[in-house]
Amino acid sequence: MKVLVACEFSGVVRDAFRRLGHDAYSCDILSTPNNSNYHIKDDVMNHLNDGWDMMIAHPPCTYLTITGNKWFYHPDDHDLPVKDRRPHPRFPNRQKHRVDAIKFFLELGNIKIDKICVENPVGIMSTFWRKPDQIIQPFEFGHTEAKKTCLWLKNLPKLISTKIVTPEYTVFKSGKRMATWYMNAVKLPPKEREMLRSTTFQGIAEAMADQWGSQSFRSGK
């Protein structure tokens, strides 16, 4: 199959499909670390109609996650109705960025490609578009990390867990807990942290390639 991995710079999903013989390309405005010939450094919107059989898309989640909601409004206005709240002084254009992010997500999800997976953390698209078809965790695919990941699917079956392991959490004195890998990432410089959190886990990438790129699935068996 000819596979587009949209908004991927790492090449993890791309390479998983290529190892199985698929003609897979990643596309992102960032360069890929290994300077692969199978990476398109460009706006993916310029390449959505290039005859793909499948697209796996990872649209940026910065303005779509629920964890970032506190940055939309002025911290002094949290008791006011939403319509009366002022923009956050540090991020006065965040509402516009969210509108743009929603538009981009929907354009990817509704493009005329036969098989589509759009991936994102838990966020607002369950309301603005539709509920995801599946929510997966890295610890269902051999990793000790916990990170809820939503999948919106078109003509693709739900992923089947490949190896369930015990996730690692750090528990604070307050009793609250946080995924250990996520907590450790806070110590990294912002760019490194962002790249780490946006890279697909290897076990998930391999499950996508194995299950969605298998001969039995493509032949309809």
- Whether the pLDDT of residue 219 is over 60: the answer is no
Confidence of residue 155 (pLDDT cuts 50, 70, 90): very high
Which has the closest alpha carbon to 117: 105, 100, 128? 105
- Whether the pLDDT of residue 215 is over 90: the answer is no
Residue 78 tokens read as 């949290």
- Whether the pLDDT of residue 184 is over 90: the answer is no
Whole-angstrom distance, CA of residue 125 vs CA of residue 156: 19
- Whether the pLDDT of residue 52 is over 70: the answer is yes
Confidence of residue 45 (pLDDT cuts 50, 70, 90): very high
For residues 108 and 118, the answer to whether their CB atoms sit within 8 Å is yes
For residues 16 and 22, the answer to whether their CB atoms sit within 8 Å is no
Percent of the chain at pLDDT > 70 equals 90
Query: Considering the domain 2-212 in this protein, what is its CATH number?
Result: 3.40.50
Quickly tell me which residue has 């587009």 as its tokens. 4
CA separation, residue 165 to residues 170, 198, 201 (Å): 16, 21, 14
- Whether the pLDDT of residue 213 is over 60: the answer is yes
- Whether the pLDDT of residue 54 is over 90: the answer is yes
Q: Which of 74-88, 97-111, 116-130, 166-180 has the lowest mean pLDDT?
A: 74-88
What are the helix (H) ranges across 71-120? 94-109
Burial of 21 (0-12, 13-18, 19+ CB in 10 A): exposed
User: What is the structure's pLDDT at 111?
Assistant: 97
User: What is the structure's pLDDT at 149?
Assistant: 95
Q: Looking at residues 168-196, what average pLDDT do you find? A: 82
Q: How far apart are the first and last CA of the chain?
A: 17
- Whether the pLDDT of residue 145 is over 60: the answer is yes
Where is mean pLDDT largest: 55-64, 89-98, 179-188?
Answer: 55-64
Considering the chain, what is the average pLDDT of its residues? 89
